[in-house]
Amino acid sequence: MTAALSILELGGLNVLLALSVYATFKVGQFSLAQVGFWSIGAYGTGILTSLYGLPLLPAVLLCGLGSAVIGLLLGYPCLRIRGIYLALATVAFSEVVRVFFHNFKFQVERDGKLVGPDASLGFRGIEVLTAWPQILCAVLILIFVFAWIERSRLGLSANAVREDETAAACAGVNVVAIKVGMFAFGAFIAGMGGGLYSTYVSFVNSDNFGFHLALLSIFYVSVGGTERFYGPVIGALLLTALPELLRITGDFRMIVYGVIVLALMLLFPRGVADELRLRVGSLFRRARPAARSGPNDY
């Protein structure tokens, strides 16, 4: 029972990561920077709560806002580059953040022992403040926000920007504001999620926030589907539960995991949720809806 609950909790945290990637995908940007924001949020919240005794909510919100500001600063110059170049630039950002925390030593004495990030040894002893209620709240609020965005003018403009920036600009959409705004929104979610993550697991290490996690965050979104907000949610839950269900396979667990991701991608190139939606939808409608693509210019 507790095992199932902890899978759900981890799944919820991964949903946050996936949704932050999805926010950038929504405007056709392929960003691997979310891991960088995630680790900023994780370390920042850890420091604010464990070293300065801030309650969880303001700490998480502060870190989310901080990440969003950095996201603005990063997103603005990144408007010039797109597709594969954007992916590489954002990898660069994440790696620089990782190396920064790898060398970051900031310790304060509390209750007779040193706490705080200890460079390559990681950040031990973060107060555990997060459990399923906090994660559930965050996930539900975000799902609500994304569902609202999907139906609002903002969502329509974002879709227009993703499909064709020039056409969207011609139709009066403020492309710069939408792209930078969604980038910063993604950063906000990642910063917040990172904060919940570090106060949930109580130990973070910069080595866990490397290129590997960036790949996983892309897995969640692309296995789930990039067109509707429930795609990343399903993808993240599916790919969190899978390794746990695969525990019986022992040492082969991660291999089987990789094979399953590969197979899902080959079977559902657009993601499980979107492909199923289209297939189920086509049972009721005669004609298959026209194909739409995800972020497609890299």
| 8 Å CB contact between 182 and 24 | yes
Which pair of structure tokens corresponds to residue 4?
């199932």
* 114 is an interface residue for another protein by CB under 8 A: no
Which lies closer to another protein via its Cβ, residue 92 or residue 176? Answer: 92
The structure tokens 């974002």 sit at 158
252 forms part of the interface with another protein (CB under 8 A): yes
Yes or no: say if 70 and 222 are a contact pair by the CB < 8 Å rule.
Answer: no
Distance CA 61, CA 58 (A): 5
Q: Could you give the C-alpha distances from 277 to 140, 273, 296, in angstroms and in order?
A: 22, 6, 20
Counting every residue written for the chain, the total comes to 298
Give the residue, chosen from 58, 177, 262, 289, that forms a contact with another protein under the rule CB under 8 A. 262
The single residue among 93, 197, 200, 229 that binds another protein, judged by CB under 8 A, is 93
- Which H or E element spans position 109? strand 108-110
Asked if 293 touches another protein (CB under 8 A), the answer is yes
Give the footprint of another protein on residues 20-59 (CB under 8 A). Answer: 30
When asked if residue 100 is in the footprint of another protein (CB under 8 A), the reply is yes
Among the residue ranges 62-70, 131-139, 264-272, 282-290, the one whose residues contact another protein (CB under 8 A): 264-272
Q: Is 132 in the site for another protein (CB under 8 A)?
A: no
**Helix axis angle, 83-102 relative to 34-46, nearest 10°?**
30
Residues near another protein, by CB under 8 A: 30, 77-78, 80-85, 87-89, 91-93, 95-96, 99-100, 102-103, 120, 210-212, 215, 218-219, 222-223, 226, 251-252, 254-255, 257-259, 261-262, 265-266, 269-270, 293-298
